[in-house]
Structures are given as C-alpha cells and as structure tokens.
Chains A and B, each alone.
Chain A
C-alpha cells in the first residue's frame, strides 16, 4: 500500500505541508479565504529543532494500536487506510495517548482528526506531498509498516 513517508534529510521545516493539509481538508477552493486569520488544524505536523525537522503524520500501521484502543469504535481500517468516523468519536483522546508517533490530534471542534491520505477530499493525492518544495514528503509503496 502507498503511504506518506518523510525524509528528514530534505525537510526544510517550512511548514507548508501543514497549510496545504489544512487547506485540502477545508473543503474550500481559495486558500487565503480558507486559512487567513484563523488558527489551523492540520493533520500533519512539523517536529524538530534547529538542526533537524521532519513532518509527522499517520503511518497507517498494519496493526494500528489507535484502532484497538478507541472506546467508541470511531477508528477503523478500510483498505489499509485508518479513518475516523466523526459521528462516533467522543473526543476522549485515548488515541492521542496511545499513538507512538503523535499522529492524531483534535480538530477545531474537539472531534479527532488524522491523515486519511487526502482520499476523501478533493485533492485525490496527499496535499502535503504535492506541495512539498523539496520532495521531503513522498507518497510511495514501501511494503508493510508497524
């Protein structure tokens, strides 16, 4: 299955992936209108320090601990992609606690959100990947992940 991978060697820490992600999932067609003057809630986050930066988003683990731990059954795996059912999520943050990568975060309204590979939005392919200026984020097949 194709997944989003990050090569920290080429990550510039420009944070553009965060903005592209927030825009892609806003449902709007104008980036400035979608993001201007508001806090953003991206599903990918730049971590790091002055020397190293890298983007973190869901790894879509083959045996996902978040899905197992979800008390409301809101997280599920569909064709390898872990998705959130917004109607079921109760916002308990258990998944945030258990995810070893820190890939989940609450959305503006407190309901959990995570990277769903832009499969459900209008992008069609991960917006963080297409928007990365240095090809530090790639979307490719590399075999199973844990």
Chain B
C-alpha cells in the first residue's frame, strides 16, 4: 500500500567510471541489492534491500561503490523525527513490536567521554612500560577475609576458585546460534592465545570447542540450553545470566531458522524449533532462590569453579549487587544499557536500564560501604569501546571488563544493526553456511589478538603515565579520574572530583 511506503534509508552510489562489473558486490550481498543487467550491460542495484553493512564497499576492487544515507526526508520536525515517524508507519502496517540489534544508538550520555585520566608530573615519576615491568594480570573471585596458619605457623595458601586473566578484559557472552561457529572459534582461539576468557552465551558449547575450556566461561541462562554436567565442568567459570543490558527483564528468542544442525545439537533442542529463553529463571523469583542455584552449580562442580552472576544495570543495581555478593556468587557481572544484542525489542533496548559507569560506581561504593567488596569481583560491560574506557572502568572500581561489540568489530562487524535478519554478510550473526565461511577463524582470531594486544599496550602506557605499574593499584583508584561537564550529582555518584579540583 502506498501509505506503507518508506523510502529506502540508504542509496548505493556506483561510480560508473570505476565499476568493472566484476560482480563481486553481487556475489557478496546476501540481501541481493546488486545485480548485473545484461540488457544495459552494467551493474544495477536495488537499494531498498540495502542495510549498509559495507560488505560490497569493502570488497569492491576498484572502490567504485559507496553507500550514503538517503536525503529523501520527511518534513523536518525536532519532535517527530524521521525515524520516529517511520517506526509508526511500520507498526501501523504490521501491528508488531519493533526489533533492533546491537547497542542503543540514541545520543544518551556516555560518561566515559566525560571522565579524564591523571598523569604524573614532577612530584612522582611516570613509569615507562618499555623499560620497566608493567603488570596487567588479575584474579577474579572471592578473596579470603582472614589469613590462616597451620600448626607450624605457615600461611595456609588455599584460595577459593579464581579466574586468572592476563589482562582485565573478557569476551562477553554471545551464544552459538546468535553468532556463527567461526565467530565462536575465533573468540575461543584468541582468548586462549591471550590468556583471557570468552563466554559461550546461552547456546551451549560446541563439541569442537571443549579443548578451549580453560579459557571459556560457560553460561547458564533461563532457557538452560545446552546445559549438562560435562558442559558445567568444561569451563573456567560458570555464569548465571539473570539479565542483559540491552534488554533488562526480557528473555531471548532465537528463531527456528537459526536452529540448524550443530546449533540444535549444541543447544539440545530439535532442529527448526524456536529457542525461547524466558524472561526470568523460573526457579529464581527471589534472591534466596539465586543462592540455591549458585550452590547447586557449586555442588555440581565440587566447588572448583567460580560462579558469575550477570545482571543488567537497572535502577536499584547497588542493592541487587549487594544481595548477589551475599548469595555465594564469586563474581558479579553488570551489563550497562548501551550493551549490544543479537535482537531486542527496540523500545526496551533504547529506554530500559542505566549507564554502566553510574551502575559500576554505585555498586563498587555500596559493596565497600558494606565491607563486602572482597566477597566478589566486579566485571562490567555494556559498551566498553577502548583501552581508555577499560582504564576508567578499573579506576572506578571494576576488576575487569566484558567486551563484545568491540570484539565483533574486530571480526568484521560493521554495526549495520540487522543481526536479527540472520543474513550477516560478514559471517558473524548468521548460520547460513555460505555466509559463515566468510569469517576465516585464522583471520578472526588474529585480529582479536591484535586488538587486545593493542589495548594492553595502551593500558600499560596510561598506567605508566599515572606512575602505576600494576593494574591492582589502579582498581578503585578514583583519585586518578576527574569529570568534565558533569553536574554535582553525577560527580557524587561517580565518586570523582571535577577537573580543576
């Protein structure tokens, strides 16, 4: 119907002087935007199908292609913006809930960008990481509150189970099913090479990847997909997923079309059936229930694995975290509202939850106020985009950061935010074999290792400039941070002074 018509969001601009009609764009576009017209003897495009994933642009050997935002707009209106109006049209036509992928794209405050880092001048020396040792190793897990000695007076060196990381970064949960075999393979291999961990997400662990178990966190989510005894014992830690930053309070739905072959076997559900994760764990309606699941998992793994409880950053996150810290969990993972997802209801993604910076600051303070910060380690995610974000998170009080979007970008993701279609041209968020093979894990893992190596260098440079030579001396060191352009309340919550103070 004419009333439903929405002018395509993007235009495909093809430089006719450069196009050699090699048809690489046509072969590479799963959305079938490009085609060769034999009558006209040239390449044509149907931009209505374009999602601006930039695959064709990246592969065009003569740089003949570019994708631009269409300038066909509705009449300008600051209140009723184009996007808002289009969404109304879509819903009027479909009657459906709007779906989106990846993190919140709205111009919400990014506190990382309003925090500045300190450096040493005169009164103490900066440390050059190229000349002096600079340590980034961290141990996640509960720390004993009392030193005990044996009858000879020697310290009894028994620790609760810990996760050892060579640097304070972990690859965040993305399930096999939501992302491809090759994406998982790249993450697992890179984590192993780097001495960090990746996370299975709630899709189980493919049999080929058990060998990377020491660098794997196995997740137990509300759907309990792929959970069995060997799975629980395979990882370095077990994560109970209570919520996700992109969609707090919302479950998951992996469409049956993605439940193919190995995915179905790994998830332990029939091929083609929708994988629906309920919004709550139906055995956890309260904090005391969480405690039972934590201890069930500990019992199942003979108290050898740290238990992570992952929650979305919501309004009363400090109280929730305090409850979790007393539940027997060893690590709390908090996911901020800018975190990514393979698919989420748009309204939820863009409007529910709070920024991770504020959640982290208030949780860290609350746990210290209650004297239970040592009971748990704190891992934060939800749009940690760079080494400086990591440094700021650690200085605010995190033990480590979860990254996912940055890792996907390293694998080739161009943030076109249409993961939910399953036609990822970069071979990441898809199960179509012809698309999956576009991500060669040799390249993927190498690029992830490169990215993390680069970040680690940057973290060491920033630490060295501050005169800090070990990451633990940075953790919770808020004096190293100053705010710019923040109001008093924001500064108070972040627990930092304003620049110039």
Contacts and interface: CB of A to CB of B under 8 A. Distances in A.
Please say whether the chains A and B touch (CB closer than 8 A): yes
Interface in A30-46: 31-32, 35-37
User: Which label, helix, strand, loop or mixed, suits the secondary structure of the B interface?
Assistant: loop
Interface in A69-101: none
Interface string A98-140: 0000000000000000000000000000000001011110000
Interface in A1-44: 9-10, 12-16, 18-20, 23, 31-32, 35-37
B18 A32 contact: yes
Given A12-B28, A15-B27, A16-B22, A32 B440 contact: no
Given A31-B20, A135-B442, A20 B61 contact: yes
A19 B20 contact: yes
A14 B440 contact: no
Contact of A10 (B24, B61, B440): B440
B20 A134 contact: no
Given A32-B62, A135-B443, A16 B24 contact: yes
Contacts of B21: 36
Given A12-B28, A14-B59, A135 B440 contact: yes
B86 interface: no
Nearest to A20: B61
B208 interface: no
Contact of B61 (A12, A31, A134): A31
B24 A14 contact: yes
Contact of A19 (B28, B61, B434, B437): B61
Nearest to A9: B437
Given A31-B61, A32-B64, A36-B19, A14 B443 contact: no
A134 B438 contact: yes
Contacts of A12: 27-28, 434, 437-438
B501 interface: no
B443 A134 contact: yes
Contacts of B437: 9-10, 12, 134
Contacts of B17: 32, 36
B27 A13 contact: yes
B59 A16 contact: yes
Contacts of B58: 133
Interface string B429-472: 00000100110101100000000000000000000000000000
A32 B24 contact: no
Given A9-B437, A134-B443, A14 B28 contact: yes
A35 B20 CA distance: 6
Contacts of A136: 440
Contacts of A19: 20, 22, 24, 61
Interface in B413-433: none
B23 interface: yes
B166 to A, nearest CB: 26
Contacts of A23: 61
B337 to A, nearest CB: 35
Contacts of A9: 437
A9 B427 CA distance: 13
Nearest to B64: A32
21 contacts: A9-B437, A10-B437, A12-B27, A12-B28, A12-B434, A12-B438, A14-B24, A15-B23, A16-B22, A16-B59, A16-B61, A20-B61, A31-B61, A32-B19, A32-B62, A35-B20, A35-B22, A36-B17, A36-B20, A135-B440, A136-B440
The list of the 3 closest CB pairs from A to B, nearest first, reads A32-B18, A35-B20, A10-B440
Given A16-B59, A16-B61, A31-B62, 5 more contacts: A12-B438, A19-B22, A32-B19, A32-B20, A135-B440
